[in-house]
Structure 1
Amino acid sequence: MARKQSDYLAALLADEATIETKSAAPEMATTVETAAPAPLAATSPMPEPLVETALPHRSERLRGTTLLGRESALARVATGEVRQVTQLLLDPARVRVWAGNARSYEHLSAESCQELIDSIVAEGGQKVPAVVRRVEGDPDYDYEVIAGTRRHWSISWLRRNSYPDLKFVAQVVQLDDEAAFRLADLENRARKDVSDLERARNYAQALKDHYGNHLTRMAERLKLSKGWLSKMLKVAGLPDAVLDAFASPADVQLKPAYPLAQAVDDRTASPAILREAKVLARLQDERRKAGDPALPASEVIARLLAAPKVGEAKPRPLVYHGRDGRVAVSVQSANRQGVTLRLHAGAGIERERMIELVRNALLNLDEEGRGLQR
């Protein structure tokens, strides 16, 4: 090492035994992993008269050896052999979630994060740091979460519920948006609670924002199959009107939803599918209000795919349920002569609810083009 560099390091390190860095904020904790100085060789005892003359020489030797060890440690940090990792203890209210993350923050709940919440409480805090980057020009936030959305939500929830002193532990990185997207995607691939639809729509947005709509380039950067990615992007194109037919967007999985996405792209089949989706959305809403279980995704997809063929065959009778899944109202026929409804006894509902179901049946028939002619 050149003398000027050696002098600079000597002045910088002075006589400190370890490398120290000042915190950027009172809540920040910085750790640096460095190589230990080389051990000194043992020296044999010296005669008393020689000690006074030998001490200055030994002191210089110690300082030189220690300096070389420090220089070696800094060199290893500079070359990347040893990495400095900075972790912050943050107020989660000053941290926002990056919009490029696939996970839907508003759909998180204490139930979906219960295991993580219990773990944080049992361990006395968050042990695995999230990944954040600094925010510029936003007076409300200092950082944004790239990976660790559930940890951010859980700490925020705990601070509102009996643990106000908990801090959000995060590691700060410098990433552009494309690199941040790849990092978030890698984390989300291992998470079962990130639905295929969430990931699909995240990919569709990233294709436009980061890859100039070049599918091949995106597949290469993400190390994904081009065919699989193409299917995900097709599912991402499902219109909201079709998604409303499902009890939850999380029910939309890639394998069964891909044929549906293809069918929606068919101009001849699309109108019938959209009409059936409206009927199913209304039925799902009725079931929620009545406290009945929602229609499963498999049944929803089957009915949507069958919708284009319904007009060719005999129309499927519409059925409306009361309590405990018992049939309350069913459409027996609907044609030019009129509409025939059957009100079933023993449905276990009040008369006002029965009238509401009759009204819903007539509205659904109108949407299908089979309603009463005026």
Structure 2
Amino acid sequence: MARNQKDYLADLLADDEAPVPAPAADEASGPIAPPARPDRMRGTTLLSRESALARVATGEVRQVTQMLLDPARVRVWTGNARHYNHLTEENCRELIDSILAEGGQKVPAVVRRIDNDPDHDFEVIAGTRRHWSISWLRRNSYPEMQFVAQVVALDDEAAFRLADLENRARKDVSDLERARNYAAALRQHYGNHMTRMADRLKVSKGWLSKMLKVAALPDVVVSAFASPDDIQLKPAYVLAQLFDDKARAATITSAAKQIAKLQAERRMSGDLPFPAAEVLRRLHLATESKADVAEPFTYKSKIGRDALSLVSSNRQGATIRLHAGSGATEDELLRGLREALAHLDASGRGLLR
């Protein structure tokens, strides 16, 4: 995290001043007077307090309070990039185990108070996984678990920046989730002024431009991937640029529908879905000229042997070979044939047009 981002985060969540614990009392001689502070320390403390009060006076920091909350009374802010419904016991397992080992949640989340919601009192700005994990634990044999949170007063734009700072350090927030979160924030908080948004987030305008480009990828293309998490910034940006050409955009959209259908069939049959690299290869292949030679295609059986391959393709038709001894079932060969036809269609040599 950049230094200026750390400074912003510290200012955003800083307390006025940590309380000084009271000295212990001696039963025989009465309370012990605290040691006198040197004049130099008094001046430093006064300046520190004045500085904290000045931050409060600006309106950027109004209140910081740490509380133990019932997670059922806390909702997740919709402006966060992380999709709450994508969280599972599996992808939160490490955090759950950590909470159990430490006897509770040690790192507080950040929440703010809300009004006009009879079911909730607060909403999570940063700490969605902590909220999910505590909620899961309360439903699974640990009803005493409490959701630990700092209560702050932030407007939506400041809340967005705070959530973004936390998500940048999280590998489980995909580039697509962040990109679409940025696109929404650009409209809601920055009046579609990208330069202003880049300045406020302390990121380069060029990088932000790429993220916004990726955010524009249509859902039909996203559905071609096994998971939205597979969509990474660099290759997705190259793909998104192709949509500037209407003809290419239509071709990619058609190919994406075919791939999404094949992905669904593979899941139903128990096969692994196509990895991101294969999906990207097929989508890019769809934009190549029909005069180009189609790339080779081979379908393997479940035991890893070649079952069906595309030998050649031209204007008169295609030659497909079925391999002996592959161990493939009839259903596998039919599925391989469908994938070969989809491969031809993606390369602009479809036989069913």
TM-score, length-normalised on structure 2?
0.77
Q: Alpha-carbon deviation of 1:181?
A: 0.3
CA distance in 1, matches of 2:149, 2:240: 39
Alpha carbons of structure 1 residues 349 and 138: separation in structure 2 relative to 1, 3 Å: farther
% identical equivalent positions? 63
The answer to whether the 8 A contact 1:335-1:370 is kept is no
Q: Among residues 18, 24, 28, which one is paired with 1:33 in the alignment? A: 18
Q: Alpha-carbon deviation of 1:186?
A: 0.7
Alignment match, 1:94: 73
CA distance in 1, matches of 2:55, 2:265: 61
Q: Alpha-carbon deviation of 1:231?
A: 0.8
Alignment match, 1:236: 215
Alpha carbons of structure 1 residues 101 and 84: separation in structure 2 relative to 1, 3 Å: closer
CA distance in 1, matches of 2:271, 2:335: 16
Q: Among residues 330, 350, 353, which one is paired with 1:370 in the alignment? A: 350
Q: Is 2:226 aligned against 1:252?
A: no
CA distance in 2, matches of 1:32, 1:112: 37
**Greater alpha carbon shift after TM alignment, 240-249 vs 282-291:** 282-291
Unaligned residue ranges in structure 2 (runs of 5+): 1-15, 24-32, 37-41, 57-61
Q: Alpha-carbon deviation of 1:332?
A: 4.6
Q: Alpha-carbon deviation of 1:199?
A: 0.8
Q: Among residues 260, 263, 275, which one is paired with 2:242 in the alignment? A: 263
Q: Alpha-carbon deviation of 1:177?
A: 0.7
- Higher RCO by CA contacts (8 Å cutoff, separation 6 or greater): 2
CA distance in 1, matches of 2:112, 2:255: 45
Q: Among residues 59, 64, 87, which one is paired with 1:108 in the alignment? A: 87
Q: Is 2:145 aligned against 1:160?
A: no
Query: Could you say what the CA RMSD is over the residues aligned between the two structures, in angstroms?
Result: 3.4
Alignment match, 2:323: 344
The answer to whether the 8 A contact 1:32-1:85 is kept is no
Alpha carbons of structure 1 residues 256 and 213: separation in structure 2 relative to 1, 3 Å: same
Alpha carbons of structure 1 residues 371 and 302: separation in structure 2 relative to 1, 3 Å: closer
The answer to whether the 8 A contact 2:64-2:152 is kept is no
Q: Alpha-carbon deviation of 1:357?
A: 4.5
CA distance in 2, matches of 1:197, 1:343: 39
Q: Residue type of the partner of 1:79? A: L
Larger radius of gyration: 1
Alpha carbons of structure 1 residues 275 and 84: separation in structure 2 relative to 1, 3 Å: closer
The answer to whether the 8 A contact 1:339-1:372 is kept is no
The answer to whether the 8 A contact 1:363-1:371 is kept is no
The answer to whether the 8 A contact 2:80-2:160 is kept is yes
The answer to whether the 8 A contact 1:33-1:84 is kept is no
Q: Residue type of the partner of 1:371? A: L
Q: Alpha-carbon deviation of 1:249?
A: 1.2
1:305-347 deviation line (CA, Å, top 9, x unaligned): 2321152313345544431443434445666655654433344
CA distance in 2, matches of 1:322, 1:282: 19
**Greater alpha carbon shift after TM alignment, 174-183 vs 299-308:** 299-308
Alignment match, 1:194: 173
Alpha carbons of structure 1 residues 81 and 215: separation in structure 2 relative to 1, 3 Å: closer
The answer to whether the 8 A contact 2:298-2:308 is kept is yes
The answer to whether the 8 A contact 1:323-1:347 is kept is no
**Greater alpha carbon shift after TM alignment, 342-351 vs 138-147:** 342-351
CA distance in 2, matches of 1:199, 1:271: 26
Q: Alpha-carbon deviation of 1:140?
A: 2.0
Q: Map 1:205-216; keep pairs closer than 5 Å.
A: 205-216=184-195
Q: Among residues 154, 173, 190, which one is paired with 1:175 in the alignment? A: 154
Alpha carbons of structure 1 residues 303 and 122: separation in structure 2 relative to 1, 3 Å: same
**Greater alpha carbon shift after TM alignment, 290-299 vs 332-341:** 332-341
Alpha carbons of structure 1 residues 348 and 96: separation in structure 2 relative to 1, 3 Å: farther
**Greater alpha carbon shift after TM alignment, 120-129 vs 107-116:** 107-116
1:282-315 deviation line (CA, Å, top 9, x unaligned): 3333433344443332333233223211523133
**Greater alpha carbon shift after TM alignment, 292-301 vs 120-129:** 292-301
1:85-128 deviation line (CA, Å, top 9, x unaligned): 42221121221111110112122222222221111000000001
Alpha carbons of structure 1 residues 141 and 322: separation in structure 2 relative to 1, 3 Å: farther
Alpha carbons of structure 1 residues 108 and 337: separation in structure 2 relative to 1, 3 Å: same
> Tell me, what secondary structure is at the counterpart of 1:245?
coil
CA distance in 1, matches of 2:68, 2:151: 11
Q: Alpha-carbon deviation of 1:81?
A: 8.6
**Greater alpha carbon shift after TM alignment, 178-187 vs 192-201:** 192-201
Q: Alpha-carbon deviation of 1:195?
A: 1.3
